[in-house]
């Protein structure tokens, strides 16, 4: 079995300021975000042997991954399939707990990445990462992690708001591949014992 652990980035300036951004260069982690990243990095380093470490190239995710990489002794592999939703003309505008969906002009809406696009790319990443074997860690964002959870739970579009699947900052979501794809855990601050049992074959 391949275990894919997706970690949401730590709190960043986008979260503090309440804005939308997929910038690769701006909006670093906040002080709290750095602490959150250090905490999850320690959890991963103490409990698992990570085989590969991937990250969204968005700045806040890359910072989080760099902290994890130092703790687990792995180089960060940037993969744009894990990136934040592409915001187009909504870049830098107010997030407002999803209200952005109702406050866009038609021209703005046409530049925002669709849910289908997010699902397609993150599932492609997961299918490729499953070939790596062992314990694969990826640092990503709310929508991408939710998109993989939707697949694992078998949720159809319209059956559940993705806001029901929002992961806290630096939270751990675990997915298993052994011929079938399944959700093992979502949005947790620690690695559960069930995952440690599954990871035992990869600890030597």
pLDDT tops 70 at residue 105: yes
Mean pLDDT for 155-183 is 81
pLDDT of residue 18: 93
Confidence category of residue 101, pLDDT binned at 50, 70, 90:
confident
Active site residue: 3, 6, 9, 136, which one?
Answer: 9
Which residue, 127, 137, 132, 130, is CA-closest to 5?
137
Mean pLDDT for 177-200 is 88
pLDDT tops 70 at residue 161: no
Tell me the β-bridge partners of 178. none
CA distances from 84 to 20, 39, 59, 112 (A): 10, 22, 10, 11
Active-site residue, 141 included: yes
Q: Which two tokens stand for residue 178?
A: 């052994």
pLDDT above 90 as % of the chain: 74
pLDDT of residue 157: 73
Mean pLDDT for 149-157 is 81
Active site residue: 112, 141, 173, 175, which one?
Answer: 141
Active-site residue, 90 included: no
Report pTM: 0.94
Q: Among 3.50.50.60, 1.10.10.10, 3.40.50.1240, 3.40.50.880, name the CATH number for the domain at 2-12+28-84+114-202.
A: 3.40.50.1240
pLDDT of residue 159: 59
């Amino acid at each position: 079995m391949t275990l894919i652990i997706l970690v949401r980035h730590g709190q960043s300036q986008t979260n503090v300021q309440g804005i939308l951004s997929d910038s690769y260069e701006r909006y670093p982690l906040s002080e709290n975000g750095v602490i959150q990243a250090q905490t999850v990095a320690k959890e991963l380093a103490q409990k698992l042997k990570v085989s590969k470490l991937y990250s969204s190239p968005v700045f806040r995710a890359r910072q989080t991954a760099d902290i994890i990489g130092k703790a687990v002794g792995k180089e960060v592999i940037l993969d744009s399939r894990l990136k934040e939703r592409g915001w187009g003309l909504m870049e830098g505008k107010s997030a407002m707990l999803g209200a952005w969906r109702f406050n866009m002009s038609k021209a703005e809406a046409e530049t925002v990445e669709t849910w289908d696009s997010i699902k397609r790319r993150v599932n492609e990443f997961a299918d490729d990462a499953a070939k790596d074997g062992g314990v694969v860690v990826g640092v990503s964002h709310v929508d991408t992690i939710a998109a993989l959870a939707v697949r694992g739970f078998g949720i159809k579009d319209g059956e559940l708001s993705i806001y029901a699947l929002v992961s806290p900052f630096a939270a751990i979501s675990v997915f298993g591949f052994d011929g079938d794809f399944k959700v093992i855990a979502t949005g947790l601050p620690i690695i559960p014992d069930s995952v440690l049992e599954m990871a035992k074959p990869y600890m030597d």
